[in-house]
A and B are shown apart, each in its own frame.
Chain A
Amino acid sequence: MRPLLQVENLEVVFPGPGQGTPVLDCLDLALHPREILGLVGESGCGKSVLARTLLRLEAPARIVAGSIRLAGVELTGRSRRQMRSIRGRWITLAIQNPDGAMDPLYPMARQFREVYAPAPGTFTWRKEKTAWQEHLFRRLREVGIGSPEERCRQYPHQWSRGMLQRAQLVMVFAARPRVVILDEITSALDSTVTLQILGLIRRLRRQYGSAIILITHDLAVAGEICDRIAVMCRGRIVEHGPAPEVLARPKHPYTGMLVDGCRPGTDPSAGMV
């Protein structure tokens, strides 16, 4: 099956002295339709920069080489106006910090409206107001946010982190995108809430048929719902394969180290660092 998203030899640098500081180095990645791909790596390996680059929001970093092909369409050369129509409908991103994802000065209803209502400025959107609101409330109830009519009148600081993360998921899936990138969305949440969100991601994939890239530093989280796992280290993918295989028989020593880190309790008499 041809991959939906194909990244080849991607090189991204941060502006700096000389050629700049390389962040992504000959990175290859493939995402197939309807699959959940786990992108695992420690902080600083470039996962978030990759996520933003796939959406062409990499500024101030710069793409110096490589290609990103989404459903056969090359993204690296696209202008801002062209990317505007691609983002949201074809590819989207949800960020780690649920508080940061929402504008603290607007009520939640307004922020949902920006994503859900048909383009404002046209004369039709006022008439259809009740229709999109009903649609939104239904979506919110589906993800487990009770009494959405009341909740939407509140501001982001009045919602809990788990709820904000769910709201972000609702917004991100609003336009039924083909590719969804989730950047460490469970890292800031409690473990019981993480489990809820992981279940929700699985459900949303079933409902919308999107392909998902789940970025995380925790291999255990990736192992929970991902079909395939790609391990990232210092700007390149060092290993990738079906999730059970990568977890059970890691080939690269870095992957092996990550897998060991997941195991419970350690033998205290084992050798020291």
Chain B
Amino acid sequence: MSVVSEPGVGVPVLSLRELSVLLPVRPGDIFRSRSVPVLNGVSLDVHAGEIFCLVGESGAGKTTLLDVILGFCVVQKGTIRFRGRQVEQGRGPGRLQLNRNTQVVFQDPVASLSPFRPLGRSIVEPLQARGADRAEMRKTVRQLCRRMQIPRSLLRRRPSQVSAGQAQKICIARALSTAPDLLLLDEPLSALDNPACQETTMLLCRLQREYGLTCLLVSHDLRLVRAMATTVAVLYLGRIVEQGPADSFFERPAHPYSRALLSSALVPGLWPGQRIVLEGEMPSPLNAPAGCPFHPRCPERYSRCSRMPPPLRHVRPNHFVRCHRAGQGSSVQTATGHIAELECCEQLRSSQRPC
């Protein structure tokens, strides 16, 4: 059973199946005599026009996943498909197509802009790399500035002369300059102050609607995820532990870790119930616990959790979770504060397509 969306919605823009990335225990160990999985069987689909948000804390493997998609990291197992076409390891037509039609917005805007170019020139860097002519570049800059309300005076400055929020705006403009099929966003707000965060969030939402962007957003900031996401997946120690439509996820998160994340986000209205304080921290892949990787910190663990890795279960349409507790009829606290019973797994499965 894999975490795929229903067929017939069109070929997904990006499709990952059972992706596994191993890291050798001793750096430089070319024979990889002992390796640990940094990503473990990750599968996801990003459809056109969808904003897929990957949520997780540091050490979960989010950066590795982006590295894999961009081709910076070698994959031991699994496949990547871009618009239905297989993406090879190393240089190949599939990889080339993915890289040409994907743009990235990075975490640190000032660092990802060339300090030697004025910002106006940075916006058209991808176009320049494709050999576009000056007229086209100028037209693109004009259009983007109008759309994103970037003042012309900003274009003449250098990255060190502007605030992080303004620099991130330029990076987003740069990413949109080639009208990419897929936009990757790697923690786009973490280097920004709160007011700039809000501005940038509104901007991204508006652009996504206007351009119909397909995005894969990686973030630990649940405010942004709430504003933008259509689908949310939670990553813990290299595995997706929960995935579902955004509304379903925020309304009733099914995995104890998801609930703890929502509770710790400190966003008013996101988790009105009592705070869930977890013990300990996410272990490193070198010390991955047996059974369910989350069980040492889980407030709802029981005997089976330390013995067997949890299976993937449907809890609602298109909403999956890897937890022994899910679908057992156990009581869970929902975001609205009501105590509700999870539907029985059999009941759910009968109303959905077979996995």
Task: State the A residues within 8 Å of B (CB).
Answer: 42-43, 144, 160, 162-163, 190-196, 199, 217-221, 223-224, 257-258, 260-266, 268, 270, 272-273
Contacts and interface: CB of A to CB of B under 8 A. Distances in A.
15 contacts: A42-B195, A43-B193, A190-B58, A191-B220, A191-B266, A196-B279, A217-B194, A258-B195, A262-B194, A263-B267, A265-B223, A268-B202, A268-B227, A273-B149, A273-B199
B277 interface: yes
Interface of B: 57-58, 149, 193-195, 197-199, 201-203, 205-206, 209, 220, 222-223, 226-227, 260-261, 263-270, 275, 277-282
Given A42-B194, A196-B277, A217-B193, A266 B58 contact: no
A264 B267 contact: yes
A54 B275 CA distance: 33
A190 B264 CA distance: 9
A266 B203 CA distance: 10
A220 B268 contact: yes
Most chain B C-beta atoms within 10 Å of own C-beta, residue among A193, A224, A265, A268 = A265
A268 B205 contact: yes
Main SS of chain A's interface residues? Answer: helix
A264 B227 contact: yes
B194 A218 contact: yes
Given A160-B281, A265-B227, A192 B269 contact: no
A221 B266 contact: yes
A194 B221 CA distance: 13
Contacts of B270: 264
Nearest to A224: B266
A162 B281 contact: yes
B187 to A, nearest CB: 12
Given A263-B269, A264-B222, 18 more contacts: A42-B194, A190-B281, A191-B222, A191-B265, A195-B263, A218-B194, A218-B266, A219-B194, A220-B268, A223-B266, A224-B266, A261-B198, A262-B223, A262-B268, A263-B223, A264-B223, A272-B202, A273-B199
Contacts of B267: 220, 262-264
A258 B194 contact: yes
B261 A192 contact: yes
B60 to A, nearest CB: 9
A196 B206 CA distance: 36
B352 to A, nearest CB: 28
A261 B202 contact: no
A238 B194 CA distance: 17
Contacts of B266: 191, 194-195, 218, 220-221, 223-224
A260 B261 CA distance: 21
B275 A195 contact: yes
Contacts of A219: 194
Nearest to B205: A268
A216 B281 CA distance: 22
Contacts of B199: 273
Contacts of A144: 279-280
Nearest to A272: B149
A228 B277 CA distance: 23
Given A191-B57, A258-B195, A265 B261 contact: no
A193 B50 CA distance: 31
A263 B57 CA distance: 21
Contacts of B222: 191, 264
Contacts of B278: 192, 195-196
Nearest to A270: B202
A223 B265 CA distance: 12
A260 B280 CA distance: 32
Nearest to B200: A273
B260 A192 contact: yes
Contacts of A160: 281
A263 B223 CA distance: 8
A272 B201 CA distance: 11
B209 A42 contact: no
Residue picked from B203, B222, B270, B280, most chain A C-beta under 10 Å: B280
Nearest to B209: A268
A196 to B, nearest CB: 6
Contacts of A199: 277
Closest CB pairs A-B (n = 3) = A261-B194, A268-B205, A220-B266
Contacts of A273: 149, 199, 202-203
Contacts of B201: 266
A264 B264 contact: no
A268 B226 contact: no
B144 to A, nearest CB: 14
A194 B266 CA distance: 10
A195 B226 contact: no
Contacts of A191: 57, 220, 222, 261, 264-266
Nearest to B276: A195
A257 B195 CA distance: 7
Most buried by A among B202, B220, B275: B202
A269 to B, nearest CB: 8
Interface centre among B206, B227, B260, B281 (most CB of A within 10 A): B281
A39 B58 CA distance: 27
Contacts of A266: 198, 201-202, 205, 227
Nearest to A200: B277
A90 B108 CA distance: 39
Given A144-B279, A190-B220, A272-B202, A263 B268 contact: yes
B61 to A, nearest CB: 14
B336 to A, nearest CB: 14
